[in-house]
Amino acid sequence: QFTRGKGFDTFGPLGPCIVTGVDPTNLRIVTTLNGRVVQDGNTNEMSLSIPFLISWLSQVMTLEPGDILATGSPSGSCTIKSGDEVVVEVENIGRLCNEVQ
């Protein structure tokens, strides 16, 4: 299901740069849809902690500096449609704005 739901071309946008040296265990994440806040959470509220995920994944694969771990998102997922603007901002990392195609 996750491959079908999140793995299509243009899905999973990243960038425009990768920020390193940030402690990922306590970062606020805010998502807006057409200017309305639909998600507002913190990495410290995740079902599985960042240290646990890193430990668990490193047991089955080699993790290198700069690797990206897709962890999911705060509650509040909603339906989006063509023309919508989705903005995700992660504290101390940056803001990513995309128009849904």
Domains defined along the chain, listed by start: 2-99 (3.90.850.10)
CB atoms within 10 A of CB 31: 21
- The pLDDT of residue 5: 62
pTM of the model: 0.82
pLDDT of 1 higher than 60: no
Long-range contacts of 77-80 (CB under 8 A, 24+ apart): 77/38, 77/39, 78/33, 78/38, 80/33
pLDDT tens digits along 44-64: 999 999 999 999 999 999 999
**In angstroms, rounded to a whole number, what is the distance separating the alpha carbons of residues 42 and 60?**
27
Across 52-77, average pLDDT: 88
pLDDT of 3 higher than 80: no
Q: How many CA atoms lie within 13 A of 79 on its CB side?
A: 1
Across 35-43, average pLDDT: 95
